[in-house]
Structure formats: structure tokens, C-alpha cells
Amino acid sequence: MVECNSDKSALRLGVNVDHVATIRNARGGVHPDPVRAAHLVAAAGADGITAHLRGDRRHIVDDDMRRLKTEIDLPLNFEMAATAEMLKICLEAVPHACCLVPENREERTTEGGLDVAGQHYFLAPFIRKLMDAGIRVSLFIDPEPPQVEAAQSTGAPVIEIHTGAYYEATAATDPARINAELEKIKTAAELADGFGLEVHAGHGLTFKNVQPVAALPQIVELNIGHFLVGEAVFMGLGEAVKEMKRLMRDARA
């Protein structure tokens, strides 16, 4: 997550390097290094680096976060669950931004958004502590109006719309479902923008499905990881980032 951007014509790309660490951890050791990947995506034109420090440390580990913060010039978006452990680490690291996500040990990835509406009384003071430290907080939520309304009432300045259901629809190549999911994202983005929230989106975005989301004028940042790291096997990470940025620019133009 990068600076608050009033210029809505510019769409930023935050690259999530978690799955570089997934490959590293499959063997143990130090290769491939997610920090080296972050240097590479910065050189390719990414606008920010995103990394998720999970409670189970299945990919990114504490030292990766420390190095991403100290060695990379781009703004760091620290994704985490709203736990006491993560709050302590985040307040010590003081990243540019913190994206709060739900976390469930059995899930393969972040399945579904944060239930802000159901956890408001817990989340509002948690968010306040991060904001008091100068960290820009975003809430990863499903594109549902009650969640957008609840997000606004917590005082967080940013939401990130979970595009997972849209991804599933595009993977099923079901035009009616794709349109319905896109409509939900559009409605949520307009509502959030009307509240003065900054709007981001991410999860499951690919070269094939990114453009309809990128074309929504309220959205100022996309966070993309798994597809770019997968595509790096075929075309190289730098080229994958450049192509994603080109598609995003063209969608916006």
C-alpha cells in the first residue's frame, strides 16, 4: 500500500512476494529470497511491496519483514491478522501500511474478507493503535455494503476489496457470474469512495482478469502476488510485473 492518492487516474501495483518465500521454504535454506524478488519488482516498476506475516510463518518470516522494511525503498504493506503478536511486531517495524486480514490455520490462502461488521468493537481500538504509530491501515473486506459501512466506522482510511469470488467466476469462465461479481466490486468501490475511503483491491488477479477491475476509477491500488510469482517461471518476474502494469495502464486509459 502506497501514499494516499487523490489522482485516481493513476493505478498503483503492489507486488506480494509471499510465494517467493513459499518456494524457498519448500526446501528450507535461503533461495529464492523474497527480498531479492522485491528489488527486482521495484526495478520493473512496481509501486509497493506487500508481504503477509502469518501466525504459522508458512511463507514470509520475521526476518523477511525486517529486511523488506530496511532494504527496499518502496513502501511496505504489512499484511497480518489482528492479533496481539502481530500488533507488537508491526508497531516495532513501523511499515508504511498495514492491511488487516482474516487468518485461519487450515486455509490455503486468505479465504474471504475480514468480518469488520461483526468485530467492530475489537477492531476499532486495534486500528487506532496502528494509526497512532503513523501506519496507514487498510481492511481486507468482501465487496459487501455492510462491510464497507463497518470499515468506515472503524476510522481506517483504506479498504482493500477481496476479489477472490471474482477470480473464481473468471476461472469458471461464467459470464453471468463474472458480471455479478464485478458489479459487487463496483458497488463496494463506489460506496467506499463516497465515504472518502481509499479503495484497493486484490486476490486472484491475473493478466486475463485484471482489466475490468483496473478500469474501476475508484480503485487506486491493486495487490497481486500468486499469479506474478507463478508467471515468473515462464517469463521472468520483472517481465511479468511490466506486463501487469501495462495491462493496468491500458485498462485505465
Give the catalytic positions in this structure.
52, 79, 203
Among 97, 203, 216, 244, binds ligand PXP (CB under 6 A): 203
Among 36, 58, 66, 226, binds ligand PXP (CB under 6 A): 226
> Is 160 a binder of ligand PXP (CB under 6 A)?
yes
Inter-residue long-range contacts of 249-253, CB under 8 Å, 24+ positions, other chains counted:
249/11, 250/211, 251/11, 251/210, 251/211, 251/212, 251/214, 251/215, 252/9, 252/10, 252/11, 252/214, 252/215
Among 60, 99, 116, 237, binds ligand PXP (CB under 6 A): 99
> Is 166 a binder of ligand PXP (CB under 6 A)?
no
Best CA proximity match to 17, nearest among 238, 228, 164: 228
Tell me how far apart the alpha carbons of residues 154 and 120 are, in angstroms, rounded to a whole number: 7
Which of these segments, 145-153, 168-176, 198-206, 213-221, binds ligand PXP (CB under 6 A)? 198-206
> Is 147 a binder of ligand PXP (CB under 6 A)?
no
Best CA proximity match to 48, nearest among 70, 67, 73: 73
Among 78, 126, 166, 227, binds ligand PXP (CB under 6 A): 227
> Is 140 a binder of ligand PXP (CB under 6 A)?
yes
> Is 209 a binder of ligand PXP (CB under 6 A)?
no
> Is 245 a binder of ligand PXP (CB under 6 A)?
no
> Is 78 a binder of ligand PXP (CB under 6 A)?
no
Per-residue x/- mask for ligand PXP, residues 22 to 41, rule CB under 6 A? --------------------
Could you tell me where the beta strands, DSSP code E, fall in 5-114? 12-16, 48-52, 76-80, 97-100
Burial class from Cβ neighbours inside 10 Å (0-12, 13-18, 19+) for residue 242 reads: middle
Count CA atoms closer than 13 A to 51's CA, side-chain side.
Answer: 34
Residue carrying C-alpha cell 486472484 = 204
Rule CB under 6 A: which residues touch ligand PXP? 16, 18, 52, 79, 99, 101, 109-110, 140, 160, 202-205, 223-227
